[in-house]
Amino acid sequence: MPAPRTAINQQAVWKNDEQFRFARALIWHALELQDAGVFEFTTDIVPDAERNGGPNVPGCTATKLKDAHLISPIGHMQEGVWFAKRAKSNREGRKDAWNNVYHLTSRALAEEFLRRQHVEFREVQPEFAIG
């Protein structure tokens, strides 16, 4: 019997270097925003300097982090249909794009995720490159 999709994604999130770096950066910046009192974010919070992959990396990484229950999409149900909250991109060259809005499911889980990846949240600027 094949493994459930969520179990596959929880393991696969670490197998691609670009996704791995993006996942650490996204969680780190989400915690940083939370400290500033902002609890909603899009994948745009990761600066271009920390993006090392194709245009599909943010979306694929967000899906895997959702499946791992680290982030959750924001939206609402209306008559049995889910409507995701979306925000217009503020990145250069992506002004016409719309991104899903997320929040961390748990600060403790986010910090534990970074701890297991040997990233100290309290450091001045994280190093996301893989050794």
Sketch the domain layout of the chain as residue ranges.
Answer: 5-116
Going 17 to 20 to 23 to 25, the CA torsion angle's sign is negative
Tokens of 53: 């992959």
Buried b (16+ CB within 10 A) or exposed e, 9-33: bbeebeebebbbbbbbbbbbbbbeb
C-alpha distances (whole Å) from 6 to each of 9, 91, 104, 124 are 5, 30, 18, 33
Q: How confident is the model at residue 124 (pLDDT cuts 50, 70, 90)?
A: very low
Instruction: Give the model's pLDDT for residue 129.
Output: 45
Q: Which CATH number fits domain 5-116: 1.10.260, 1.25.40, 3.40.190, 1.10.10?
A: 1.10.10
Res 130 pLDDT > 50: no
Task: Say if CB 52 and CB 18 are below 8 A apart.
Answer: yes
Neighbours of 128 (CB within 10 A): 20
Whole-number Å distance between alpha carbons of 18 and 61? 9
Mean per-residue pLDDT for 1-9? 56
pLDDT of 118 above 70? yes
Q: What is the pLDDT of residues 14-49, one digit of tens each?
A: 558 888 889 999 999 999 999 999 999 999 999 988
Tell me the average pLDDT across 76-102. Answer: 92
